[in-house]
């Protein structure tokens, strides 16, 4: 089956720092999403990015489907960026989101 | 109200109780999903509905019973749960069922079984 692996599992940042989160997947995908889960459990959509590069404010993401990985960049991190970041993918012939284990980010003031 | 809403946000129930979780989506989507997030485990899919019809049951125990009366509403009926069923239950929706559609999540119901 498809496996989704995220690294690092935990990340502590000083406010203002930049960081890169990685998501590796084991099969060809039709859908790759990045989410931010806030302390109350809400999953907030960040990017829908099966391939290519997208940017939204201080966040950007790149998926290289042929090499089966996606990267999420956080620039000039803020304390409100704290939380857990998940990537999730759906294989080309499926409809089930398979989630990675998440990267827990703590941004210190 | 916009997006995907879930009620209640928190629920504490005994093992002999019967309760229901409700999800409503205001996005005009056709597919709806239940996910379970337990402590220290990845989010896992439970059920998928498309145009009110169940298309996937991910080997979920029968003490969880979903219901989808229309494309906008999804329920999860709970009975005789176990303490290990305590988790965050998340509802999601998407425009279509195929993998090319983005899924949007509700805020979740945090369930505690005592």
Assign A92 a pLDDT band (cuts: 50, 70, 90). Answer: low
Residue with tokens 């997208």: A54
Q: Which of A20-24, B50-54, B76-80 has the lowest mean pLDDT?
A: B50-54
Please judge whether A90 and B43 are an interchain contact, meaning their C-beta atoms are less than 8 angstroms apart.
no
- Interface probe with A: pick from B103, B104, B107, B109, most Cβ of A within 10 Å: B103
Please judge whether A45 and B43 are an interchain contact, meaning their C-beta atoms are less than 8 angstroms apart.
no
Q: Which residues contact A66 (CB under 8 A, 6 or more apart)?
A: none
Residue B96: the pLDDT is 87
pLDDT at A94 over 70: no
Q: Which of A29, A33, A43 sits opposite B90 (nearest CB)?
A: A43
**Strands B73-79 and A43-48, bridge-based pairing:** unpaired
Structure tokens at A44: 């907030």
- Note the pLDDT tens digit of each residue in A45-73: 999 999 999 999 999 999 999 999 999 99
Please judge whether B42 and A33 are an interchain contact, meaning their C-beta atoms are less than 8 angstroms apart.
no
Q: What is the mean pLDDT of chain B?
A: 93
Q: Which of A45, A50, A95 sits opposite B48 (nearest CB)?
A: A95
Q: What is the maximum span of chain A, computed from C-alpha positions, in angstroms?
A: 44
> Of the ranges A30-34, A89-93, B71-75, which is most confident?
B71-75
Shortest alpha-carbon distance between residue A49 and chain B (Å) = 9
Q: What is the dihedral of CA B92, B107, A72, B33, to 10 degrees?
A: -10
How far the first Cα of chain A sits from its last, in Å, is: 41
Beta bridge partners of A91: A29
Structure tokens at A78: 């803020």
| C-beta neighbour count of A89 within 10 angstroms | 29
Residue A2: the pLDDT is 58
Residue A93: the pLDDT is 62
Assign B1 a pLDDT band (cuts: 50, 70, 90). Answer: low
Assign B75 a pLDDT band (cuts: 50, 70, 90). Answer: very high
Assign B41 a pLDDT band (cuts: 50, 70, 90). Answer: confident
Distance CA B25, CA B31 (A): 10
Please judge whether B42 and A97 are an interchain contact, meaning their C-beta atoms are less than 8 angstroms apart.
no
pLDDT at A3 over 80: yes
Is residue B26 within 8 Å of B1, Cβ to Cβ? Answer: yes
Assign A80 a pLDDT band (cuts: 50, 70, 90). Answer: very high
Distances (CA, A) of B104 to A17, A19, A35, B16, B101: 29, 25, 10, 32, 10
């Amino acid at each position: 089956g498809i496996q989704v692996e995220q690294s690092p599992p935990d990340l502590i940042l000083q406010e203002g720092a930049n960081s890169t989160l990685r998501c590796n997947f084991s099969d060809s995908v039709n859908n790759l999403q990045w989410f931010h889960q806030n302390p109350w459990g809400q999953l907030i959509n960040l990017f829908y990015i099966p391939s290519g590069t997208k940017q939204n404010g201080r966040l950007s993401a790149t998926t290289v489907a042929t090499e089966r990985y996606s990267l999420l960049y956080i620039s000039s991190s803020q304390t409100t960026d704290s939380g857990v970041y998940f990537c999730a993918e759906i294989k080309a012939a499926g409809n089930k989101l398979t989630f990675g284990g998440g990267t827990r980010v703590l941004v210190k003031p | 109200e916009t997006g995907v809403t879930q009620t209640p946000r928190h629920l504490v129930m005994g093992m002999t109780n019967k309760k229901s979780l409700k999800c409503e989506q205001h996005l005009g989507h056709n597919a709806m999903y239940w996910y379970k997030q337990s402590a220290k485990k990845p989010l896992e899919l439970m059920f998928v509905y498309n145009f009110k019809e169940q298309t996937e049951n991910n080997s979920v125990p029968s003490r969880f019973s979903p219901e989808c009366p229309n494309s906008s509403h999804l329920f999860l009926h709970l009975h005789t749960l176990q303490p290990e069923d305590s988790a965050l239950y998340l509802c999601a929706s998407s425009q279509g069922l195929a993998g090319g559609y983005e899924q949007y999540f509700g805020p979740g119901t945090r369930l505690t079984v005592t």
